[in-house]
Amino acid sequence: MEQATAIPHVLIFPLPVQGHVTSMLKLAELLSLAGGGGIRVTFLNSDYNHTRLIQFSDAESRFRNYPAFQFKTIDDGLPMDQLTKGQKVSELVGAMGSKTRPVFKDSLVQMDPPVTCVIGDGALGFISEVSLELGIPNIRFRTISTCFFWINFWLPEIIQAGELPIQGEEDMDRMITKVPGTESFLRCRDLPAYCRGRSDEPTLLRIVRATRESSSPPYPLILNTFDELDGPILALVHHRLPKTYAIGPLHEHLRSRLHTTSYSSPSSSLWKEEASCLTWLDSQPLGSVLYVNFGSITMMRRDQAVEFWEGLINSKNRFLWVIRPGSVCFDEEMGCDNMPEELVEGVEKGNLKVLVGWAPQEEVLGHDAVGGFLTHSGWNSTLESIVAGVPMICWPFFADQQVNSRVVSEVLKLGLDMKDVCDRRVVERMVNELMVEKKEEFGRKAAEMARMAKESVKEGGSSYRDLELLIEDIKSQAQEVNGSKSNNSIS
Ligand code: UDP
């Protein structure tokens, strides 16, 4: 076994779904870059996702530039042939908790040189538990929005005050008052599905216990946000968890530290990116196109797809709709794709393009022709839209998306919230509001927030500062770990 030195060895372990892999791989590259070889980084990917990552992105060759970086893989516990592998997040989390956990523990014990810090996805509670069992310092990375993290933190108080669970057919616009900093905007309908209706109190409490956000002693936390975006709530989080590092937007942070002139940060795509939509965008007028994309997990019913289609057509705006294969017209019972005739692959007319596939999203959002984004409000997509200065129409699907859409519309005033509605008239009205009637108003706001996002990751910016702090702390943790190991003569 290699002699223990003070060189830190960080192990980064994301939940194996696109949004989590993307943001945590950006962090891995930032640490490899900023560490200048002075930080070893191991990125633990699921076998299934790793095959896709090296097939559809340049991650493998790119990371060869960092000699102190390595990929390792692990089984995610789901059968290999499962069609929707990774798209039913609760099944994935369950399988990993039971099957991946012991394998992870073994590989952590065997890692050489020993790991001095685990940066684990906060969505996988077992990562911090195993690290603690082995006495390895652990930092939780939450890829969700700060506001959603904070709401989960306060769930026990919301339940205790009787504001949850929601009782039967209630007024979903009822305000939730027990989460500090959100009293002016948080309604029942802005909570995730497990708080909205169907969940009874025991189910809710089980979720609260599983996340154990507020009852754990303070722990170090990484958030993909920046001071100017989430300032007031971030200050409250800091108060409870003083070692909180807000180092986002991570994709812009990486772009900035790489000094790249490209519109996008390096790819970590798990699908084949279709660049043809960029060529189509090249021929469209400035700011004229609404980009439509619902991310890597959202499933939509056939009738919902038709409502969107009709609303978009009736709005008479230009649009580019990217449809992930298998995501639209999914029939829960029959499990089949039954695409409406209108939405067949490659529909391309003067003012619209429908692409069944996967887009290079950062590049699309950075394209001059794009003037709006109809999104599911995933946190990465939201940050990518913010950095590109593109206003949003939000149609949230699950997890933090219900609250993200509320924050985008009501707090940041960067767009419109269409949650709980899927009606062609509403689609038409909102598209016109965003792209025509309030185009300038939203455009000004979005440009200002984009400017602040870019400033935050430059030298002197808040996210830049927090990343430097994180690196210092990782280095001093390594000194402590190695110090205590040599005292105990382990290495
Ligand atoms: N994405 C992409 N091309 C697509 C759709 C999505 O590159 O056609 C990327 C997008 O840029 C983002 C990620 O996939 O980085 C989706 O993460 P997000 O948190 O927005 O949503 P999720 O997919 O987790 O619901």
pLDDT tens-digit readout, 332-355: 555 555 566 666 656 777 788 888
Q: Which of 9, 76, 121, 466 is catalytic?
A: 121
CA distance 30 to 74: 23
From ligand 1's centre to the CA of 19, what distance in Å? 6
Q: How far does residue 251's CA lie from ligand 1's centre (Å)?
A: 12
Phi and psi torsions of 119, nearest 5°: -105, 100
Nearest residue to 473 via CA among 4, 123, 116, 170: 116
Mean pLDDT score of the chain, rounded to an integer? Answer: 89
User: From atom 17 of ligand 1, which residue's Cα is the shortest distance away?
Assistant: 19
Burial readout 179-213 (b: 16 or more C-beta within 10 A, e: otherwise): bebbeebbbbbbbbebbbbebeeeebeeebeebeb
CA–centroid distance, 456 to ligand 1, in Å, is 22
Can you tell me the mean pLDDT for 80-101? 78
Which tops the pLDDT comparison, 15 or 194? 15
Q: 401 in ligand 1 pocket by Cβ < 6 Å?
A: no
Structure-derived torsion over alpha carbons of residues 353, 357, 361, 363, reported in degrees to the nearest 10 = -70
Strands in 415-417's sheet, in edge-to-edge order, are: 348-349, 352-356, 318-323, 289-293, 370-375, 392-394, 415-417
Angle, CA of 184, 190 and 191, to the nearest 5°: 115
Question: What pLDDT sits at residue 184?
Answer: 96
Choose one of 354, 380, 384 to mutate for the ligand 1 pocket test, by most ligand atoms within 8 angstroms of C-beta.
380
CB 147 within 8 A of CB 153: no
pLDDT of 166 reads: 81
> Can you give the pLDDT at residue 352?
86
pLDDT digits (tens, 9 = 90+) for 165-202: 887 778 899 999 999 999 999 999 999 877 876 555 55
DSSP string, 124-185: -HHHHHHHHHTT--EEEEE-S-HHHHHHHHTHHHHHHTT--S--SS--TTPBP--STT-TTT
Pairing label, strands 138-142, 117-121: parallel
pLDDT at 439 over 90: yes
Which of helix, strand or coil describes residue 321? strand
How much of the chain exceeds pLDDT 70, in percent? 88
* Mean pLDDT across 48-75: 94
Of 17, 273, 361, the residue with max ligand 1 atoms within 8 A of its CB, to mutate for a pocket test, comes to: 361
Q: How open is the CA angle 183-189-193, to the nearest 5 degrees?
A: 120
The span from the CA of 193 to the CA of 201, in Å, is: 13
Q: How far apart are CA 404 and CA 385, in angstroms?
A: 13
Span 378-393, pLDDT tens digits: 999 999 999 999 999 9
Indicate the pLDDT class of residue 2, thresholds 50, 70 and 90: very low
Tell me if 94 sits within 8 A of 311, measured CB to CB.
Answer: no
Q: Which atom of ligand 1 is nearest to the CA of 294?
A: 5
> Ligand 1 in contact with 77 (CB < 6 A)?
no
Burial readout 40-61 (b: 16 or more C-beta within 10 A, e: otherwise): bbbbbbbebbbebbeebbebee
**Confidence check: pLDDT of 142 > 60:** yes
pLDDT over threshold 50, residue 275: yes
**Count of Cβ atoms closer than 10 Å to residue 99 Cβ:** 15
396 lines ligand 1 (CB under 6 A): no
CA of 322 to the centre of ligand 1 (A): 11
pLDDT digits (tens, 9 = 90+) for 445-470: 999 999 999 999 999 999 999 999 99
Banded model confidence at residue 331, pLDDT cuts 50, 70, 90: low
What type of residue is 218?
P
Answer yes or no: is the C-beta of 268 below 6 A from any ligand 1 atom.
Answer: no
Domains and CATH numbers, the chain: 2-261+456-490 (3.40.50.2000), 276-453 (3.40.50.2000)
**Closest CA relative to residue 160, chosen from 177, 173, 175:** 177
pLDDT higher than threshold 60 for residue 3: no
Atom of ligand 1 nearest to the CA of 19: 17
Is 59's pLDDT higher than 80? yes
Q: To which residue do tokens 């946190």 refer?
A: 379
Mean pLDDT along residues 475-488: 74
CA of 161 to the centre of ligand 1 (A): 36
- The four Cα atoms 46, 47, 49, 53 give a dihedral, to 10 degrees, of 120
pLDDT of residue 212: 56
296 CA closest ligand 1 atom index:
23
Catalytic residue among 20, 50, 367, 376: 20
pLDDT at 491: 34
Classify each residue of 410-434 as buried b or exposed e, where b means 16 or more C-beta atoms within 10 Å of its C-beta. Answer: ebbebbbbbbeebebebbbbbbbbb
Distance 295 CA to ligand 1 centre (A): 4
Ligand 1 contacts CB of residue 150 (under 6 A)? no
Q: Is 121 a catalytic residue?
A: yes
Q: What is the pLDDT of residues 416-425, one digit of tens each?
A: 999 999 999 9
The residue whose CB lies within 8 Å of the most ligand 1 atoms, and thus the one to mutate among 15, 18, 292, is: 18
Q: Tell me: the pLDDT tens digits for 205-249?
A: 666 665 555 557 889 999 999 999 999 999 999 999 999 999 999
The reported pLDDT for the residue numbered 218 is: 87
